[in-house]
Every structure is written in C-alpha cells, then in structure tokens.
Structure 1
C-alpha cells in the first residue's frame, strides 16, 4: 500500500522521535486521514526488526478495526488480549489489547515487564486515565506512540504531562486543502436553548440534564431539518438513548427514513449496514458512534449533545469528513448557539486555533443564516480580528510614545506581524512550561525583543524561530517596525528590511521628521 505524503512523513517522524530517545511521542491526525494505516505501517517496520508491539484501546470496535487494517495494509496477523481471549503462548509479534482487561493486575503479571518493545495507544486522549497509566507503567521500558484526532489545546496540555514530544501533526484545514477530507460548511439555526439548569460533571454537561433540556425543542429541530437535510445522509448525536429514540419517532412522522442505534441494540450491525445502503437517511444515536465507525457517504452531521470538550466534538463531526463519490461537502448544522454557556463547542472550534477568531467566526456564521464554508469563514474572521487588534494597537502605540525602550515589547511585535500562532500559544510539554533559559534571554535581547514579557521556554523558542525566519526572508526587524509604527505607518510587519531601512534613513536625514510628500496612511513599504 502506497502511503499519502503526510502519512509517510508521519511514519518517518515517529521513528525518528524514538531513535532520538523521545520514548513517548504523539501523532495527531484528523478523523478520516488514515491514522490506523500510519501506525500499521510503523508496526510493520518495527516487526521487521524483531520487535513485539501492543496496540491498546478502550473499545472492542477499535481493536477489531486495528487488527483488520493491520492485516489488510501489511499482511501481519495479531493475537488478542481481551476478556477470555489471551495472547499468552501466541507466536504473533503483535497483540491488540483491551485496556479494561490488561489493567487487571493478574492479567498484567502474565507478561514480563519488558515483553513489549512498543505500545500504540489508539484514541490517545484517553490515556491519562488510571487504567491506561497502570498498563503503561507496568511496561515502562517500551516505546509509546499515542495516536489521536483531537485538536484541543486542553487535551494537548494534559497529554503533555505524559508524552515527551509531538512527532507529527496534520491539521483539519491542511487535510481539506490537500483534498484528503471533505470541505465543511456550517449553518447556525438559532434556537434559544436554555442550559442554565444543566449540571456539570467531569468538566462537561450532565447528559441526564441535557436530555430534559432538549426535549421541548425536538419538534422544532425536526422542522428545521426538513429545510436543510431532506436530501442528505445525516447522523444525529443526542445526549440520552430515550431522547434519541423519541427524536427518531418524530423524524419518521415528518417523512424522514430514520433509524436509532444504541449500546443495547441487538440488530446494530444490520441497522448500520442498512444505513450505509440508504435504506435510512437519518441515523440517531446517543454518543455510540463517536469512535471506530466509518460511513464515508454521510454528508450532514447534527450535534444535539452540547459539549465543552473539543476532542468529543471533533469525534462527532469526524463521522462526516471522509470523501465519497458525488459528495461535495459536509454540512454541519449548529442548533445550539443561543445558550447561557459561552464555552460551548461550535463549528468554528474545529479549525480556529485562536479563541478570538473562533468567537468571531461563530458570530459571523450566526449572522449569515446560510451555510458558510468553514475555511472561508475563518479567513474572514481572522481579518476582522486583525482589524480590531490594529485599532487596539494604535491606541496602545499612542500611550507608548513617551516610553523610551531600547527593546520591543513582544506582544506589540506579535500584533504588528499578525502572528496568531504566537499570541495564542499555550505550552504543551514539560520543557515548554519552564522559564526561558539564560541563552534564550540573551538571544531575544540581541534580536531586539524585551525578554521580561516572555513567560515560558516554549514561547521563547517559537518567537526566536519566527525572528530567525523573518531575518532569513529579509523582513523588517522588531525595532524597525516599532519606530515606523510610531510615525503612523501601517502593516510594517510585512515590509522588507531594506525598504524599512531606506525610509528610516530618509526620516533621520530630515531631522527625524516625515519627509515632504510621505503620507503614512497611504505609504506602501512592502
């Protein structure tokens, strides 16, 4: 099997991390981009070297999927460690194992602690839990690869407490741009759903309370679906089984061909097959289909289970991001915009790295009232945020005129060059969270940046990398930017170094006054 370019890059990056001594590393790939294929190929590589590998997951479907993909893509068969099935005595060098089974001490002790050379954790955002940690600590000498689709910074920060590094990441927008995932359009249907009475549990909403809060709106939601997804193949996520069953009945009364599936459905496989074969055009479920189920022809997803957890939200939406012949885009219908909770996940959070941009995107999508392409919506929101920041920067510069600083404030520099990734940076790994080193402090000062405002080593490293890249590209320095902005010139962060220097020389030669005929508002220095 020939891997896609990003899959091959990911495969090589993971092996390099292990070779370099980063024994616990992460691979982040969006749902639908073939993460199981990537780790299957990594397993193939290490098996050739004689290694033993354990694939660890928390659900039977994920283990079966991993075993199936491994055999299809590499020819390797594997043993299973789950419930009454055991791999002890097997000659297979790959084992797929259930964490629920392996966390049992008696089961673990059947293996020597150095039995496995490598451990692959599917859906790695779960691995901080006690059960996973019990297994991982027992096989402490093994290389570990955590594979996840989550884009969530909160999750990454938690994962950073266990993993040493991030080997490779492919973002959702990158996968869409390169044609490996379906474009996403989002539309907000502004039902005023009041969640103020809904309780909290483990950092998210209580599902029992959510079901009660949602019930009065099910008829209205079904009516709205007639407008947007009558001719689409739709998956609906709901908080409770009884809510899912009730909504299925309502949809069928409205003329949809809807089916419901839950953990106790005896005919689950048959319903899924019928849905894939278009006997049904809507599939309702209570969080059952968030992981390990693929139906590429799904072209509409409705999340009626409001959540604050981006990894969960992206898993739900990921059921519709795969490509399929004749499928033009995935339509994401957001019914839950008007709430008392501002931290709810919305379509914007799938691709926006910055909180401000996500908030602006959500506002813009709501105002539009028609489906908007998420990538285009992000570009527009980012432009809006930059305009707001430039206005704020102008006020800040006015206040800073009297300040005689030799070095440039890093926040001012980030805003000047419109560096979203710098201004919204959050450290994930242990080394990033510590204070900047003396070497970093001296380097930043030499580059013209005031290091006192840099809170951690990770931010210092990213800023130095950006400064070095700008120097190599011949762009304006922080000091040039600050000086010219004080004279009222805009977008100086995009100017060439030579153009900035020439203008500064002209201003200096004119007694540090603007030369005649130079209007900062109209001057294009880039």
Structure 2
C-alpha cells in the first residue's frame, strides 16, 4: 500500500524523533487522513528492525480495526492481549492490546519490563488516564508513539504532560486543500439553548444535566433540521441514550427516516448497515460513534452534545469529513448555546490556532445566516483580527515610542512579516511554557527585537529561528523594519535586505526628513 506524501513525511518524522533519543512522540492527523495506515507502516519498519510492537487502545473495535489494517497494509499478523486471549507464547512480533486488560497487575507482571520495544497508542488523547500511564510506566524503556486527531494545540497542553515532542502534524485545512477531505460549511442555527445550569464533571459538561437542558428544545431543533437536512445523510450526537431515542421518534414524526444506536443495541450492526445502504437518512446516537466507525457518505453532522473538549468535537465532526462520490461538502449545524463559559467548541475550533481568530470567526458565522465554508470564514476572521491588531499596535507603538527606540516590538515584527504562525502561537510542551532564557533575551536584543514582550521560551525560539532563516534568505532585518515603518512604509518585513537598505540610503541622503520625493510610503512596493 503506497503512502500519501504527508503520510510518508509523518512516518519519517516519527523515526527521526526516536533515532535522536526522544522516546515519547506524537502524530496528529485529522480524522479520515489515514492515521491507522501510518502507524501500520511504522509498525512494519519497527518489526524490520527486530522490535516487538504493542498497539494499545481502549475499545475492542479499535483493536480489531488496527489488526485488520496492519494485516492489509503490511501482511503482518497480530497477537491479541485482551480478556481470555494472550500474546505470551505467540511468535507474532505485533500485539494489539486492551488497556482494560493490560492495566491489571497480575496480567502486566507476566511480562518482562523490556518485552515491548515500541508502544503505539491509538486515540492518544485518552492516554492521560491512570490506566494508560500505569502500562507506559511499566514498559518505560519502550519508544512510544501517540496518534490522535486533536485539532489544535489547546489540547496538546495536556498531552505535553505525557509526550516529549510533536513529530508531525497535518492540519484539517491542509487536508481539505489537498483534496483528501471534504470541505466543511458551518451554519449557526438561531436557536438559543440555555446551558447556564449545566454542571461540569471531569472537565466537560455533565451528560445528565445536558439532556435535561436540551429536552425542551428537541421539537424546535427538529423543525430547523427539516429546513436544512431533509435531503442529507445526517448523524446526530446527543448526551444520553434516552434523549437520543426520544429525538429519533420526534424526527420520524417530522417525516425523516431516523434510526438510533447505542452501546446496548443488539441489532447495532444491522442498523448501521441499513443506514449505510440508505434505508435511514438520520442516525441518532449518544456518543457511541465518535471513534471506530466510518461512513463516508455522511454529509451532515448535528452536534447536540455541546463540549469544551476539542478532541471530542473533532471526533464528532470527523464522522462526516471523508470523501464520497457526489458529496461536495459537509454541512455542520452549530447552535447558539447560552453559557457563561467561553471554552465551548464551535466550528472555529476545528481550524483556528488562534483563540482571538476563533472568537471572531464564530461571531461572523452567527451573523451570516447561511452555510459558510469554514476555510473562507477563518480567512475573513483572520483579516478582521489583523485589522484589530494593527489598530491596537498603532496605539501600543505610540505609547512605547520613547522606550528602547532602537528595538522592534515582537508584535510589530510578526505583523510586518505577516507571520500568522508566530502571532497565533500557543506553547504545548513544558520547555516551551518556561520564561525565555537569558541567552535567548540577549540574542533577541542583539538581532533588534525587544525581548520584554515575549513571555515564553517556545515563542523566543520560534522568533530566533525565523530571524536566522530570514538572514539566510537575505530578507529585511528588524532594525530596517523599525526604521522604514517609522516613515510610514507598509509590511517592510516582506522586503528583501537590499531593497530596504536602498530606501534607507535614499531617506538618509534627503536628510532624514521623510520619504524620498515622489514616493508614497503607504502604497510603495519595492521591485
């Protein structure tokens, strides 16, 4: 099986981390981008090196899928470590193992601590739990790969407690632009649902409270779905089984062909098969289908289980992002959840690295009143935020005019070189969150950047790397940026060094009285 270019890059990056001594690393791929194929090929290369590999997951379906995909992609057979089955005594070099089984002391201690050379964790956002940590601590000499579809660095702050690096990340926008995933259009439904009385448990909204809060709105939600989803193949996520079943009945009253599945459904496989065939056009579930189930023809997702956990939100939406003949986009219905908490996930959470841009994008989609492509919405929101930042920057620069006049504020530098990755940076791992070191501060000041406004080592490192690359590429320096933008020139950070030097020489020749004759700084673009 031939890997896509980004999958090959991911595999190479993982081994690069391990080979340089980083034992615990992460791979982030959006749902539908073939994470199982990547770790199957990683497994194959590990076996070639003579390693024994353990694939860890928290659900039987994920273990079965992993074993099946490894077999199809590599021809390797897998032993199983769960319930009554054990891999001990097997000659297979690959083991798929249940966390619930392996975490038990009696079972775990049957293995030598160096039994596994490599451990791969599917759906790695679960691995912060004590059960996973117990297994990883026992096999502490193993190289570890965590695989997750977490959409942004917000969740990675937590994963940074368990992993030492991010080997490779392929983003949802990249996957959509490359044609590997379906475009997403978001529509905010103008229906205000009050969640102000919903409690929090284990970092997210309580399912029971959510169901109670949601119940009075189910008929109105069905009316809205009738307007937008009648001709679509829809999956609805709800907080409780009884709410899911009630909503199925309401939808059927409205003329939909709705079905419901839950963990206790004896006919679950038959219902899912019937839905895939088209016998039903809506499938209701209480968080059962977030992982381990794929139906590429799904073209509408309705999230009636509001969450502040981005990985969970991403998993729900990911049920509809796969490509399918005749499907030109996924429709994602969003609701006006009234809550005092601002961390609630919205379509912006899938694509925005920057919280400010996400907030603006959510506001813009709410105002639109029609389905909006999330990439276009993110671009517009980013432009809006840049305009707001430039206004704030002008005010800030005015206040700082008399302070350290020879140094460039980091925000001015980021805006001038149009570096959204710098302005939207969020530290993920422990070392990144620490304050900048003295040597970083000295180097930043030496290169013309005011270090006082940089509050973490990760950001300092990124800016220094960017300065080094800009020097190699003969681009304008921070001091040239400060000098020319003082005279009103725009985005000098995109100029090359020689163009900036030439303009500064012309200004100097004119006695530093302003821009050279015939040059409008607001419109000037160097050749």
Structure-1-length-normalised TM-score: 0.97
Q: Offset at 1:245?
A: 0.5
Deviations 1:390-439 (A, max 9, x none): 11112222223333422222233223333222223222223323343444
Tell me, yes or no, if the aligned pair for 2:207 and 2:240 is still in contact at 8 Å. yes
SS, match of residue 121 in structure 2: strand
Q: What does 1:450-465 correspond to in 2, within 5 Å?
A: 450-465=450-465
Match of 2:373 in 1: 373
SS, match of residue 54 in structure 2: strand
**Cα distance, 1:265–1:336 mapped onto 2, change above 3 Å:** farther
Match of 1:295 in 2: 295
Q: Are 1:268 and 2:234 counterparts?
A: no
Q: Offset at 1:133?
A: 0.4
Deviations 1:230-267 (A, max 9, x none): 11110000011111111000100111110001111111
Match of 1:392 in 2: 392
* C-alpha distance in 2 between matches for 1:339 and 1:429: 30
Tell me, yes or no, if the aligned pair for 1:188 and 1:333 is still in contact at 8 Å. yes
Match of 2:474 in 1: 474
Deviations 1:107-130 (A, max 9, x none): 101111111111000011111110
* C-alpha distance in 2 between matches for 1:404 and 1:283: 62
SS, match of residue 55 in structure 2: strand
SS, match of residue 192 in structure 1: strand
Q: Are 1:361 and 2:367 counterparts?
A: no
* C-alpha distance in 2 between matches for 1:316 and 1:336: 18
Tell me, yes or no, if the aligned pair for 1:191 and 1:338 is still in contact at 8 Å. no
Match of 1:335 in 2: 335
Give structure 1 stretches of 5+ with no counterpart.
none
* C-alpha distance in 1 between matches for 2:486 and 2:208: 57
Structure-2-length-normalised TM-score: 0.96
Match of 2:431 in 1: 431
Q: Offset at 1:524?
A: 3.2
Deviations 1:196-233 (A, max 9, x none): 11111122111111101111111111111112111111
Deviations 1:271-325 (A, max 9, x none): 1111111111100000111111111111110101111111110010000111111
* C-alpha distance in 2 between matches for 1:404 and 1:146: 45
Q: Are 1:524 and 2:525 counterparts?
A: yes
Match of 2:120 in 1: 120
Deviations 1:467-502 (A, max 9, x none): 122233333221122222222333233233222222
SS, match of residue 192 in structure 2: coil
* C-alpha distance in 2 between matches for 1:272 and 1:73: 25
SS, match of residue 394 in structure 2: helix
Q: Offset at 1:337?
A: 4.7
SS, match of residue 190 in structure 1: strand
Give the alignment's Cα RMSD to 1 decimal.
Answer: 1.6
* C-alpha distance in 1 between matches for 2:2 and 2:524: 51
* C-alpha distance in 2 between matches for 1:35 and 1:336: 33
Higher deviation after alignment, 249-258 or 484-493: 484-493
* C-alpha distance in 2 between matches for 1:327 and 1:339: 34
* C-alpha distance in 1 between matches for 2:486 and 2:395: 11
Higher deviation after alignment, 407-416 or 221-230: 407-416
* C-alpha distance in 2 between matches for 1:278 and 1:53: 40
Q: What does 1:32-181 correspond to in 2, within 5 Å?
A: 32-181=32-181
Q: Offset at 1:525?
A: 4.2
> How many residues are matched?
526
* C-alpha distance in 2 between matches for 1:65 and 1:278: 24
Match of 1:444 in 2: 444
**Cα distance, 1:455–1:396 mapped onto 2, change above 3 Å:** closer
Deviations 1:173-192 (A, max 9, x none): 11111111111111111211
Tell me, yes or no, if the aligned pair for 1:79 and 1:92 is still in contact at 8 Å. yes
Q: Offset at 1:505?
A: 1.8
* C-alpha distance in 1 between matches for 2:400 and 2:434: 30
SS, match of residue 290 in structure 2: coil
* C-alpha distance in 2 between matches for 1:507 and 1:338: 56
* C-alpha distance in 1 between matches for 2:520 and 2:357: 31
SS, match of residue 445 in structure 1: helix
Q: Offset at 1:338?
A: 4.7
